[in-house]
């Protein structure tokens, strides 16, 4: 079943959602979040590393959209984990990431 759980090791590296997925990931691809996917709700920072992101397509563009909590991601035992975000709440102003 495509997208189903497996006990097999990953066959490709999981770099994480570290940059714009356009041209790098096909729609439907999932990656653990990174600082690149940080965002703000009001003046509160939401760390991108809290979620798994899925590449979605709209209007010919591909972008990351939060799809599941990071606890749903099964890292291989030797896979690196994304670094914690370097941002803080002080980087948020009225819903904008500064």
Q: What are 26-83's pLDDT values in tens digits?
A: 999 999 999 999 999 999 999 999 999 999 999 999 999 999 999 999 888 888 888 8
What is the domain range of residue 28? 17-73
Round to whole Å and give the CA distance between 69 and 93: 25
**Is 5 inside a domain boundary?**
no
Is the pLDDT at 5 greater than 90? The verdict is no
Pairing of strands 61-69, 39-41: unpaired
Round to whole Å and give the CA distance between 47 and 87: 8
**Is 44 inside a domain boundary?**
yes
**Is 22 inside a domain boundary?**
yes
Specify the number of domains making up the chain.
1
pLDDT in tens, 74-93: 888 888 888 899 999 999 99
| Degrees to nearest 5, angle at CA 11 with 15 and 74 | 65
**Is 79 inside a domain boundary?**
no
What is the reported pLDDT for 1? 42
Pairing of strands 39-41, 44-46: antiparallel
Is the pLDDT at 11 greater than 60? The verdict is no
């Amino acid at each position: 079943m495509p997208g189903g759980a497996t006990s097999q090791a990953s066959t490709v590296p999981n770099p994480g959602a570290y940059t714009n997925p356009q041209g790098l990931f096909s729609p439907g691809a999932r990656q653990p979040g990174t600082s690149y996917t940080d965002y703000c709700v009001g003046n509160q920072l939401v760390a991108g590393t809290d979620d798994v992101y899925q590449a979605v397509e709209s209007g010919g563009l591909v972008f990351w959209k939060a799809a599941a909590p990071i606890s749903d991601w099964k890292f291989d035992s030797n896979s690196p984990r994304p670094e914690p975000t370097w941002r803080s709440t002080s980087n948020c102003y009225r819903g904008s990431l500064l």
